[in-house]
Chains A and B, each alone.
Chain A
Amino acid sequence: MSRRALLVLAPALLAVPALAAPPDAATILRRADRAVLGETATYTLRMTVVRPGKPERVVEMKGWKKGDDQGLVRYTAPAKERGTAYLRSGESTWLFLPSAEKVVRVGAKQNFGGGDFSNADIFRLSLVKDYDPTLAGEESVEGEACYKLELKAKDRSIAYDRVVYWVRSDGTFYPVKADYYTLSGKNLKSLLLSQVKPIGGRARPTLMTMESRVDEGSRTRLEFLTIQDDPKLDDRLFSPTALERGE
């Protein structure tokens, strides 16, 4: 085959991943983990908590992430919550209360800011570390062709025993949906990732909606307002000392 023919065919060859065997489950999960935020990232978020019959409540925050298990989030609005911060490092989670100038150790399963996300949902943006994945097939979800992954918690300390996870199979590996189950098999809540648009220099899902399956009508939206991938972040930013120093 001539070089000219190769040049002509190469784009076509690259465009037919669907004809090839799907990647293994671990690869899909790893790619999905990095589809929303990079290995390190800073971002701003708006969280909207929806409860039936009550006005929507909004909190804005700034976050820093490094690797799979280091995360820091500081509230920036409303004013009464400004300075409140959560830190995750390894298996530890701390809360900083600015009114008391105190760092308090809290549980990873605690819900985050009164919404439907848990601390683990917010800070464990990587699922690779906590779950063993298996590929359960391919199906269409929210109008997108997806890989369906079954994730089994590696141990009982993980927030959810089982997660069913749908990841786009069009080569973007954008996560689309996740259903979270307890040990007893109860579907606790479902996560939808939507509004794919360019932010921070690349396209990605920018809206995460967690819907409670226990309290009908309760849901929480997390919307990325800005994202910066791969900034240089000092490990010490993810320490209780940095949390204590305040914003």
Chain B
Amino acid sequence: MTGAAALLAVLSLGTSAYPQARQLELGVESFAYRSATTPLNRDNVLGLDDYPGLGRLAVGWRETHGSFRAVFRGYVERTWGTQGDETAWVVRQGYAQYWWGEKVGLRLGKQRIAWGSGFAWNPTNRLEPPKNALNTTLEQEGALAARLDWAPAAWASIVLVGATTDATPRDLPLAANDVERRDSLALRARFLVKDTDVAAVASGGKNQRTLVGLDLGRDLGWAAVHAEASLYEGAEMHPPRDDTVFFRVVAGALRTSGENAFALEYFYNGEGYSDRGTSLWLDGLDRSWTAATDPALPPEIQQQALQAYALGAAIPYAGGLGLRRHYLHASWTRGGATSVWTGAVRTVIGLEDGAFALTPGVGWAPRGNVTLNLDAVLLLGPDESEYRLAPVRGALQARVKVLF
């Protein structure tokens, strides 16, 4: 027996509930976009072709030996139709996990933290890049983290996470902005009290706002409802507003009937821009662009103005949870584990500016180990609404996955 096999055999002792298993996965992802010239992409400063896109070859591996598990998920990506067409390697997750009985678990490596009851937004989870609210089924990159789980009882558990990441959402055909690495420490205590999920969260760190949060969930019979809220000092989006305390809350419900599931969620993003704030931001962008393209100004001033424009134009993607304050997410999905076809329609509505994102999708599983998903993202609404400011008008997102 090799040393590694012996170690796995030892780790597997007394863990009949979690037997040995291996799963391999190959996937192809192709996202095609329709670009647009907008106030965030003046004169196509981003250098996008009409139909930029990206293609990915993804691999996944998961190995379980009793209480030990190792996971790797990553992809190689090629973008096209952008200013800097390039090939990139991305590790979405790569971690090892071990549980001592049902009481204590340790997970080390790049991983999804994935806590919070919100479907489209998770204001208590700022340790990793946020999920894409327009298509929550897209797989996001995790954070490099050490996670310790302790379950003193069935009704209580405590999670301690130390994480570091400089990852940003990667599903757009734009070069990822350089962001400062965020080092975080977070504690989440979860309790089941009278059939209600109650979780309290505290997190903070370097380049990370100190946050306290509360997460609640309960089945009311007609629907399962949830609310997730956070309080933190200082904004994540520009301007920093260091002395201001901000509040975010998401509240929603999930109702299922047969193979249909309906979800509705409201999100309040306290640091989001008001109408006036949005106007000031757009005016600032306008001034920067005017200066950047004014031949009467010295080249160094033009360059500084262009940099200011680029920073301002990146603001909607910097915070990651939305530019404005009030959002509504609604979705309908049809299909279950045994369905060959699944369908879904998701919408996100900006309640202040009328921004409207519509994401219809269909899934096909011709065999038990093959899935194909095709989603269309349509960004609609008034011209200066949030989603219409984006440098793309919409997307087709195709994903094929084969499991072994």
Contacts and interface: CB of A to CB of B under 8 A. Distances in A.
A101 B338 contact: no
B264 to A, nearest CB: 14
A4 interface: no
A104 interface: yes
A84 interface: yes
B293 interface: no
Contacts of B369: 78-80
A105 interface: yes
A107 B337 contact: no
Given A92-B192, A99-B137, A247-B64, A81 B217 contact: no
B260 to A, nearest CB: 10
B168 interface: no
Interface of B: 17-18, 21, 23, 64, 69, 97, 99, 101-103, 105, 112, 114, 117, 119, 136-137, 139, 149, 151, 153-155, 157, 190, 192, 195, 197, 217-219, 221-224, 226, 254-259, 261, 335-340, 365, 367-371, 401, 403-404
B338 A245 contact: no
B368 A79 contact: yes
Interface string A235-247: 1111111100111
Contacts of A110: 256-257, 261
Contact of A107 (B139, B224, B370): B224
A101 B113 CA distance: 8
A100 B112 CA distance: 9
B120 to A, nearest CB: 12
A90 B23 CA distance: 33
Contact of B153 (A78, A105, A156, A236): A236
Interface in A61-114: 64, 75, 77-82, 84, 89-93, 99-102, 104-111, 113-114
A241 B199 CA distance: 12
Interface residue SS majority, chain A = mixed
A99 B139 contact: yes
A237 B17 CA distance: 9
B219 A114 contact: no
B254 to A, nearest CB: 7
A139 B219 CA distance: 39
A234 B369 CA distance: 33
Contacts of A42: 17
Contacts of A49: 338
Contacts of B195: 90-92
A151 to B, nearest CB: 19
B338 to A, nearest CB: 4
B254 A105 contact: yes
Nearest to B255: A107
Contacts of A58: 338
26 contacts: A47-B338, A59-B337, A78-B367, A79-B368, A79-B403, A79-B404, A80-B403, A81-B368, A102-B114, A104-B117, A105-B117, A105-B197, A105-B224, A107-B222, A109-B221, A114-B259, A114-B337, A235-B154, A239-B102, A239-B157, A239-B192, A240-B157, A240-B197, A242-B102, A245-B149, A247-B21
A105 B370 CA distance: 27
